[in-house]
Amino acid sequence: MSEYFNGTVFVERRWSEAERWLMVAVLGLEMVMGVVGNCFVLLVKVMCRGQFTCRYWLPFISLTLSDLGCSFLIISSSLLAILKSGQRSPWCEIVSLLKFAFITSSIGSKAILCVQRLIGIGSTESAYFVVIVTACLASWVTGMVFGSIPVVYAWIRYDPAEMLCAVFWENSYSDMLVYILCAISICFFLPFLLIFVCSLLSATGCRSRSDLSAVTPLLVASLMLCYTPFALSELILLGRMDLSPAPDWLRTLSSVMSYLDCGLNPLIYCCHQDFREAGLALLWTNRKPQSEPVLTSITKHNV
């Protein structure tokens, strides 16, 4: 999802064999964590929803779907790009667009969750249901719109450092500045501001620990940790008038950490006792014992 700009000269990142297979192992692990973990979360939420309390299920479902999509499509695409040393059009552009959409919706879903938790509005309350649905859809649509702009203007090229197709700027600092500032302000700054303010205010109030939303502070901490490299790489880019990108290692770390967030979220859900117990019960429920003999008739014998 990150935008990368290499000026007029593109210096390709050369991976050594050791680095290549290390990244294959890391991305493979993240993909397994994300796909298996988020499928498990969806299964528990659907089949065991009566065994734990979750008043704010809409942003949780939106978050899980975006994490699953990123793990299944984006991480696997990065993995194949390393093995095949690149990506081809049109899959290159599609993946770039989807990555922006998935990550934007993931951040937006956490912001909506924080707002709901602060106000105390449940996802099933009819008066606010449409508002919450609209907000979740807006985070997806916003990501799709900002992800499609570079595709329309043909700014997409493969970036070996990010292991995925990304945005490159050839000679227009003003275009880059306008796009980056708009994307960061709408897709990242506003959700992060809501997350920060709502988390700060929620910390002063008492929230029920029985609700799944009790894991929200951990979700926020994971988000902040995993997206710090991305924020640093964008700040470095904005400060360079020659359009030169952040160092290769930082761009690679940015991708790896953003992918890691998709796999950590299911583990964070399992920190909630009721959710964990529901999941374990779903996985290891013993088969029903054979039913005891049932009396169906009585035959009376005269002696």
HSE toward the beta carbon, residue 150, CA cutoff 13 A: 34
At 180 the pLDDT is 81
CATH number of residue 125's parent domain: 1.20.1070.10
Beta bridge partners of 156: 167
Give the total number of structural domains in the chain. Answer: 1
Mean pLDDT of 271-283: 85
pLDDT band, residue 169 (cuts 50/70/90): low
At 282 the pLDDT is 81
First to last CA, the chain: 89
Residue 196 lies in a domain: yes
Mean pLDDT of 1-26: 64
Residue ranges making up the domain that contains 234: 17-282
Query: pLDDT digit string (tens) for 70-129?
Result: 999 999 999 998 888 778 878 888 998 999 899 899 999 999 999 888 887 776 677 778
Determine the 3-state secondary structure of 158 from DSSP: strand
Q: Does 299 have pLDDT greater than 70?
A: no
Query: pLDDT digit string (tens) for 30-63?
Result: 999 999 999 999 998 888 777 777 888 889 999 9
At 138 the pLDDT is 93
- Higher confidence at residue 60 or residue 177? 60
Q: Does 295 have pLDDT greater than 90?
A: no
Residue 87 lies in a domain: yes
Closest CA to 156 of 166, 148, 164, 146: 166
Mean pLDDT of 285-299: 51
Residue 2 lies in a domain: no
Residue 251 lies in a domain: yes
At 90 the pLDDT is 84
Q: How far apart are CA 192 and CA 186, in angstroms?
A: 10
Mean pLDDT of the chain: 81
Quote the longest CA-to-CA distance of the chain.
110
Residue 216 lies in a domain: yes
Contact of 100 with 1, CB cutoff 8 Å: yes
At 117 the pLDDT is 85
Closest CA to 244 of 187, 160, 176, 154: 176
pLDDT band, residue 209 (cuts 50/70/90): low
Residue 60 lies in a domain: yes
pTM of the predicted model as reported, rounded to 2 decimal places: 0.82
Residue 1 lies in a domain: no
Residue 24 lies in a domain: yes
Q: How far apart are CA 20 and CA 5, in angstroms?
A: 23
Q: Does 214 have pLDDT greater than 90?
A: no
At 303 the pLDDT is 53
Mean pLDDT of 64-73: 93
Q: What percent of the chain has pLDDT over 90?
A: 28
At 28 the pLDDT is 94
